[in-house]
Amino acid sequence: MPDNRVVVYKGPGEVAVESIEYPKLELPTDVVTGLKIKQKAPHAAILKIVTTNICGSDQHMVRGRTTAPVGQTLGHEITGEVVETGDDVLFVNTGDICSVPFNIACGRCRMCNEGKTGVCLNVNPARPGAAYGYVDMGGWIGGQAEYVMVPYADFNLLRFPDREQAMEKILDLTMLSDIFPTGYHGAVTAGVTTGSSVYIAGAGPVGLAAAHAAQVLGAGAVVVGDMIPERLEQARSFGCETIDLRLDGTLPEMIEQLLGEPEVDAAVDAVGFEARGHGKEGDEAPATVLNSVMEVTRVGGGLGIPGLYVTGDPGAVDEGAKHGTLGVRIGLGWAKSHSFTTGQCPVKRYNRQLMNAILSGKAQIAKAVNATTIPLDEAPRGYRDFDGGASRKFVIDPHGMVAA
């Protein structure tokens, strides 16, 4: 068997590529012992990674802003070629190119049957829901690697219908594992529809994906706010209005200058718990975005919150925030009859439809997020550049399949 190489968290600000054991058709020990289920996984498949992406959620761990231990494997945005299947896999075959939802789901529990695959009850003993290569998510090996094991393969894998077509559009299709469905989920749950005005907080990859998703949904005006000029320029490159949050003035005033009124129909928080206060000298203030999106969303509007919030943040600015307790103006949201949707995106709810939008040319998500391919050995540099504010979505190509 070949070896496997994977990106590993080595401490705050540091990752490395290390060799580990080639994957087996077995479940992680944490899952087996915690849930008292069988370790052998004839329902699983092993994939040769075609593409795997660096995510902002990974950066939270690498910055030391979660309880991730040194040695945590990384990577939950996975697209791969099936190279081995268990005896109980019926509908996925070797050679298939598939997208892997970052949510690991059994397909058998109450939550999965209700379409809530982000909170599956049978894949993580610590809490509902699991993901590859992420802290407190069940001990599953990460997919920023050469190979990965995917459990419940018939349920979890989205097979692309034509291999040649898939490889031609692979930089778009690789976004189906997380950020395109996540951004779309943010826009959909905020109520974006034909002619809507929407404010997107954050022009990182998820924010840009949410902005493009809003366009796909028919929004009339998409406004993106951020503090990094390069990211704002990227948002403008595909037709978004932008707000530089370093400038003086309130957010309602800035929106009014663009739209003629100080409110929008819907808003998406694509920043999460490492938010900073507005203005040139804005310090970290984790409730800033939640409060600002309530301020600028009209009465009766919706807030989609795909930005990550955690229950454990050792680097938080105050004791409450270390445990996920933030100064959110819930009274404002209540008074305005806002609806709020939080939590992991249930990727399977959207990924097939978004795949069809990509294959038909209706969505160009790789262009929107500035997909940039790097080899596996350059993952540490990709993390550094991304952390420095680069307006790129780094796509790791461990086997050189994209270039070929």
Query: How buried is residue 145: exposed, middle or buried, by Cβ count under 10 Å (0-12/13-18/19+)?
Result: buried
Longest CA–CA span in the chain (Å) reads 63
96-144 pLDDT tens trace? 999 999 999 999 999 999 999 999 999 999 999 999 999 999 999 999 9
Buried b (16+ CB within 10 A) or exposed e, 363-385: bbbbebbbbbbbebeebeebbeb
Q: Map residue 220 onto helix, strand or coil.
A: coil
25-61 pLDDT tens trace? 999 999 999 999 999 999 999 999 999 999 999 999 9
d(C-alpha 366, C-alpha 128), whole Å: 31
**Alpha helix stretches (DSSP H) within 190-314:** 205-216, 229-236, 251-259, 288-296
Query: How buried is residue 218: exposed, middle or buried, by Cβ count under 10 Å (0-12/13-18/19+)?
Result: exposed
Angle at 63 between CA 60 and CA 65, to 5 degrees: 60
- For residue 212, give the amino acid letter: H
The model's confidence at residue 186, banded by pLDDT at 50, 70 and 90, is very high
CA end-to-end span of the chain, whole Å?
A: 24
Sequence-ordered list of residues with C-beta below 8 angstroms from that of 169, at least 6 positions apart, any chain: 358, 359
d(C-alpha 109, C-alpha 99), whole Å: 22
pLDDT at 2: 61
d(C-alpha 147, C-alpha 55), whole Å: 18
The pTM (predicted TM-score) of the whole model is 0.96
Sequence-ordered list of residues with C-beta below 8 angstroms from that of 259, at least 6 positions apart, any chain: 197, 221, 223, 241
d(C-alpha 92, C-alpha 153), whole Å: 7
Beta bridge partners of 242: 224
Query: How far, in Å, are 124, 201, 236, 244, 363 from residue 241 at the CA level?
Result: 41, 12, 6, 10, 19
Domains and CATH numbers, the chain: 4-178+346-396 (3.90.180.10), 180-342 (3.40.50.720)
d(C-alpha 242, C-alpha 254), whole Å: 10
With 60 as the cut, is the pLDDT of residue 194 above it? yes
Q: Which residue has the higher pLDDT, 280 or 296?
A: 296
Beta strand pairing call for 97-100 and 158-159? antiparallel
Judge contact between 273 and 313, C-beta under 8 A: yes
- Look up tokens 């097979």; give the residue: 159
How many other C-beta atoms are found inside a 10 Å radius of the C-beta of residue 329? Answer: 14
pLDDT at 278: 86
pLDDT at 404: 55
pLDDT at 93: 98
The model's confidence at residue 280, banded by pLDDT at 50, 70 and 90, is confident
201-239 pLDDT tens trace? 999 999 999 999 999 999 999 999 999 999 999 999 999
Angle at 148 between CA 147 and CA 152, to 5 degrees: 145
Closest CA to 23 of 68, 98, 73, 62: 73
Beta strand pairing call for 197-201 and 221-226? parallel
- Joined tokens for residue 362: 């209706």
pLDDT at 276: 87
- Joined tokens for residue 194: 């034909």
d(C-alpha 43, C-alpha 24), whole Å: 12
Query: How buried is residue 109: exposed, middle or buried, by Cβ count under 10 Å (0-12/13-18/19+)?
Result: middle
Please state the rounded mean pLDDT for residues 326-342.
Answer: 97
Residue 71 has phi, psi (to 5 degrees) of 100, -5
